[in-house]
Amino acid sequence: MLNETLSQHQLNQWHDQQAYNACECAVTITERAWGRAPAPFVFFLTGSGGRKEQSVRSDQDHGIIFWGKDEEQAYFQYLGEQITHQLEKAGYPRCEGKVMSNHAAWCQSYHAWFSQIDEWLEENSWSSLRYLLIFSDARALYGAKWLLDDIKNSLFQQIAPGSNAMKRLIENTAHRQRGINAIGQILTVSNGEYQGTFNFKEQVLYPVVHAARLWAFRENLQPTSTIERLGALQGKHSNTPQVPGWFEKALELRLKYCRRDKTEGIHFINPGYFTKSETALVKKWMTDGARFMRKTEQQLLHECKKR
């Protein structure tokens, strides 16, 4: 049962525990049906789970890497389906984009994953680059962590500073969505189910999430959470833009208000609920986050042009 007073950090640990329990249960079911796993494997979380930024409710984003032959994929895909099923039973909806370990694209052998990464880089399309960004947030939760570490190391080395791949990733995450209108009001949804609310995740958190991820590629930073990425970046270079120090507070504020509404639209918050000081803070975060993203883009694209 989810305790209503949990902090964001404790909430992430709770989500991790749910996912871990789902894995253990799924392994038992799979072993009963198919026998012991034919090779070592790792189950990883990605998306907000990978970044340790889940809200009260969250959908599923995960995958599996297994050491062994491609013929063993059926076993691990069955395991992936069991994990997906267990998570669904625990209240985590399936991912509409099918980023789940019961789908072949996200349940592959160690060697196939290397090829997959190369293929995505080579394809260079909007969707393949989006998959790369998702994968870069992957965090090992259950099993042989080294399998994931090897592949992520390889990926990060291929996204060299100033490379074309880096340029395309910057273009893919370019954020131009305004959060505040010309008279300083928070932009809200104008009609429909979420009328009068704004998407906290997209308007406040995402610019910083995207920028921190780009810096992680640039500096080969292994942590997956935005807070840890920002921490690792701080003081690394004199010429990096000023790193926002408020991200954790923003996650806590989101948690406070998404608990209050208890709606399905967990990322949509009515700004009318904020106190005066919270409104001022949120506006400052939006401006600050957009500036951080803009400066990140400018600096990293400048490196691309120099090469």
Partner 1 sequence: MDEIFLMNNVFIIICFVLVLLMQGGFILLEAGSTRMKNAGHIAGKTIFTVGIASLVFWAVGYGFIYGEGNLFIGLSDFFYGDFTSEVDGLAGSVDFMFQLAFAAIALTIAFGGFAERAKLSAYIVFAVLFSAAVYPVVAHWIWGDGWLAGLGKQDFAGSTVVHLTGAMAALAATIVLKPRIGKYNKDGSANNLAGHNQVYTALGVLLLWVGWFGFNGGSTLGVEGAFFGYVSLTTQLAAAAGALAAMLTVMALTGKADVPTMLNGALAGLVAITASTAFVATWAAVVIGLIAGVLVYLSMLFFDKMKIDDPIFALSVHGVAGIWGTLSTGFFATPALAEMNGGQAGLLYGGGLAQLGVQFTGVAVSGIYAFVAAFIILKAMSAVLGGIRVSEEEELMGLDISEHGSYGYPENIREDEKFGA
Q: Compute how many residues bind partner 1; rule: CB under 8 A.
A: 14
Q: Which two tokens stand for residue 271?
A: 């700004």
Shortest separation between residue 253's beta carbon and partner 1, angstroms: 22
Shortest separation between residue 47's beta carbon and partner 1, angstroms: 26
Q: Would you count residue 104 as binding partner 1 (CB under 8 A)?
A: no
Closest CA to 45 of 110, 139, 134, 113: 139
Read off φ and ψ for residue 291, nearest 5 degrees: -65, -45
Q: Which is nearer to partner 1, 127 or 185 (CB)?
A: 185
Closest CA to 178 of 211, 207, 213: 207
Q: Which is nearer to partner 1, 178 or 284 (CB)?
A: 178
Shortest separation between residue 185's beta carbon and partner 1, angstroms: 8
CA dihedral 96, 102, 104, 106 (to 10 degrees): 70
Helix (H, G, I), strand (E, B) or coil at 220: coil
**Mask: binding to partner 1, 183-202, rule CB under 8 A, as x and -?**
x-x-x--xxxx-xx------
- Which helix (H) or strand (E) covers residue 143, if one does? strand 139-143
In the 3-class helix/strand/coil scheme, how is 55-110 assigned residue by residue? CCCCCCCEEEEECCCHHHHHHHHHHHHHHHHHHHHCCCCCCCCCCCCCCHHHEEEH
Q: Which is nearer to partner 1, 10 or 181 (CB)?
A: 181
Shortest separation between residue 190's beta carbon and partner 1, angstroms: 6
Q: Which is nearer to partner 1, 162 or 265 (CB)?
A: 265
Q: Which is nearer to partner 1, 18 or 270 (CB)?
A: 270
Shortest separation between residue 195's beta carbon and partner 1, angstroms: 4
Which of 178, 237, 284, 302 touches partner 1 by CB under 8 A?
Answer: 178
Task: Give dist(CA 292, CA 285) in Å, integer.
Answer: 10
Shortest separation between residue 293's beta carbon and partner 1, angstroms: 16
Which of 4, 36, 96, 182 touches partner 1 by CB under 8 A?
Answer: 182
Residues of this chain that interact with partner 1 (CB under 8 A) are: 177-179, 181-183, 185, 187, 190-193, 195-196
